[in-house]
Amino acid sequence: MLTLGIEGTAHTLGVGIVDDECRVLANRSAMHRPATGGIHPREAANHHAQTIHAILREAIGEAGIKLKDVDLVAFSQGPGLGPCLRTVATAARALSLSLEVPLMGVNHCVAHLEIGRKVTQCDDPVLLYLSGGNTQVISYANGRYRVFGETLDIGLGNLLDKFGREVGFSFPSGPEVEGLARNGSELLPLPYTVKGMDVAFSGILTAALHLHRGGRRLEDLCFSIQEVTFAMVTEVAERAMAHLDKDQILLGGGVACNRRLRDMVGQMAEERGARMFAPSPDLCVDNGAMIAWTGSLMFESGLRMAIEESGVRQNLRTDAAEVPWFAAAEVEA
Ligand code: AMP
Ligand code: MG
């Protein structure tokens, strides 16, 4: 069975094609990069509408298949930016109808978890999901993937991008922050904001920009932002592992490409006799293959979606999704 998945919750439009063993036959994407300022949802949606045809063609070419070989069309149903979601859902519905194959709307956060579980071969991890828009600690409990901690304001990637924008980095700023941080040495005072199992980042942005105006070195600022924010999310992830009694930690989202984050989380895992897992960068960032794979899992476990049920859900929660394939594996084990 071949599943074509379309991702389009935010700035990235992705088309992936996977088979039922999760062999990734194609994984193509294009990213909307605003000329100035942050992401405007309507502009990002226009980008997706303008590029989907080309990206779809590229993916089909890379997979070496024909469109009519596709057995299932999956798309990111939420959470995300409304105009982006609607553009991608419209394309997915049109494809499903014209190819006369079923359609499956996929929860974007669950897709990060499922692709990571499959390609890294972990089975029941705590997922530390760190992207531009999302920052969540997710794990399976009582029949669903549940959120055990999350950001109270902006996503961690968004903090890096906003800081980068103010100090003149290109978008997205994560890689440049990481590069400069390697030459930083002084840990500057930034607010370490963990509230119970939740975190907050906007105070760090304000403080870092204040220090920047005060003439602090960018290297030290990037270093300090990384040390403080990565320690915050590592703390929450560790507490989730301890309370849930889980010995696997999985990384997902664009920020999970960061070496320093991987080192810090890896050390935490090692110290508690647990293991860290992280997919390759192309499967960490938003991508179509993860949507295709999760759609395939949903379909194989008997879930079906009528066109009328395929409306987008901007605020779709991680624990809204049924995950019968996970429960089935649990019963077997
Ligand atoms: P996503 O939303 O999952 O596609 O991830 C995009 C986010 O990941 C953006 O906010 C980037 O700044 C961030 N990002 C990408 N690479 C890195 C990196 N090496 N270190 C930190 N953040 C990164
Ligand atoms: Mg994402």
The pair of structure tokens assigned to 171 is 């978008």
How far apart are alpha carbons 298 and 104 in whole angstroms?
Answer: 8
Taking the centre of ligand 2 as the mean of its atom positions, its distance from the CA of residue 247, in whole angstroms, is: 24
In a 13 Å sphere around the CA of 89, the CA atoms on its Cβ side amount to 28
- Between the CA of 296 and the centroid of ligand 1 the distance, in Å, is 26
Tell me the CA–centroid distance for residue 4 and ligand 2, in Å.
Answer: 18
Smallest CA separation from ligand 1 atom 8, residue? 254
CA-nearest residue, atom 17 of ligand 1: 174
Please, is 196 exposed, middle or buried when counting C-beta atoms within 10 Å of its C-beta (0-12, 13-18, 19+)? exposed
- To the nearest 5 percent, what fractions of the chain are helix, strand and coil? 50, 20, 30
CA of 255 to the centre of ligand 1 (A): 4
- 254 C-beta closer than 6 A to ligand 1: yes
Task: Give the integer Cα–Cα distance in Å for 34 and 247.
Answer: 40
For ligand 1, pick from 115, 261, 285, 290 the residue to mutate: most ligand atoms within 8 Å of CB: 285
Distance CA 249, CA 241 (A): 8
Per-residue pLDDT of the chain (333 residues; tens, 9 = 90+): 999 999 999 999 999 999 999 999 999 999 999 888 888 999 999 999 999 999 999 999 999 999 999 999 999 999 999 999 999 999 999 999 999 999 999 999 999 999 999 999 999 999 999 999 999 999 999 999 999 999 999 999 999 999 999 999 998 999 999 999 999 999 999 999 999 999 999 999 999 999 999 999 999 999 999 999 999 999 999 999 999 999 999 999 999 999 999 999 999 999 999 999 999 999 999 999 999 999 999 999 999 999 999 999 999 999 998 899 987 777 666
Provide the whole-model pTM: 0.95
Are the beta carbons of 75 and 5 closer than 8 angstroms?
yes
Question: In the 8-state DSSP scheme, what is residue 170?
Answer: P
